[in-house]
Amino acid sequence: MKMSGGVEWALHCCVVLSRAGAPVPAAKLAELHDVSQSYLAKQLQLLSRAGLVRSTLGQSGGYVLTRATSEITVLDVVEAIDGAQPAFRCTEVRQRGPLAVPAERCDTPCPIARVMDSADRAWRESLRAITVADLVADVGRTTPAETLEAARQWLRA
């Protein structure tokens, strides 16, 4: 039960991108977070495939958010990086072994799968309720203005 570590980086990147008006190259984001430049690129590619960010090639290129931060939920980012498939995957054990239940009796999902599905839904709903805009607002509230300005300066350089 472990989600991809890249999710954390991706969320940070989204927050940073929302502050920068201009495209930001992957290399700068990597240096800012002091993480593997090549690996972060992979995560950004995933975000790009999911349609959350758009890449601009060539000089002064980089990544930009495609939508307003209030339209990007945390769940969007998590599913883009970690995949959208549920954590629990039924193997249909009941259809195997000497006491195998015939397939025609397996039309209704079993209680176990139902519980897991319900929990997974609750988890996703909880993540869907928060948007990147909420994160940005919270960061702005708990961080001194001078630090935010310094970050913006560093990004431009």
Partner DNA sequence: TCTATTCGGACAAGAGTTATCCGAGTCAAG
Partner DNA sequence: CTTGACTCGGATAACTCTTGTCCGAATAGA
Backbone angles phi, psi at 42, to 5 degrees: -60, -45
Position among 3, 68, 103, 110 found at the interface with ligand SF4 (CB under 6 A): 110
- DSSP assignment string, 71-108: G-BHHHHHHHHH-SS-S-----GGGSSTTPPPGGGTTS
Does 41 bind DNA (CB under 7 A)? Our answer is yes
Does 4 bind a second copy (CB under 8 A)? Our answer is yes
What mask of x and - would describe binding to a second copy in positions 40 to 69, judged by CB under 8 A?
------------------------------
Q: At what angle do helices 6-19 and 37-49 cross, to 10 degrees?
A: 80
Q: In angstroms, what is the minimal distance from the CB of 88 to a second copy?
A: 6
> Which residue in the shown chain puts its C-beta closest to ligand SF4?
110
Does 4 bind DNA (CB under 7 A)? Our answer is yes
How far apart are alpha carbons 131 and 66 in whole angstroms? 14
Q: Token pair for residue 121?
A: 């839904």
Q: Compute the radius of gyration of the chain from its Cα atoms.
A: 21
Q: In angstroms, what is the minimal distance from the CB of 35 to ligand SF4?
A: 11
- Say if residue 127 is exposed, middle or buried (CB neighbours under 10 Å; 0-12, 13-18, 19+): middle
Binding partner of residue 26 among DNA, ligand SF4, a second copy, none, CB under 5 to 8 Å per kind?
DNA
Q: Name the DSSP class of 157.
A: -
Binding segment toward a second copy, per CB under 8 A, in 17-25, 44-52, 61-69, 83-91: 83-91
Binding partner of residue 87 among a second copy, DNA, ligand SF4, none, CB under 5 to 8 Å per kind?
a second copy
- Contacting positions for ligand SF4 (CB under 6 A): 8, 12, 90-94, 110, 112-113
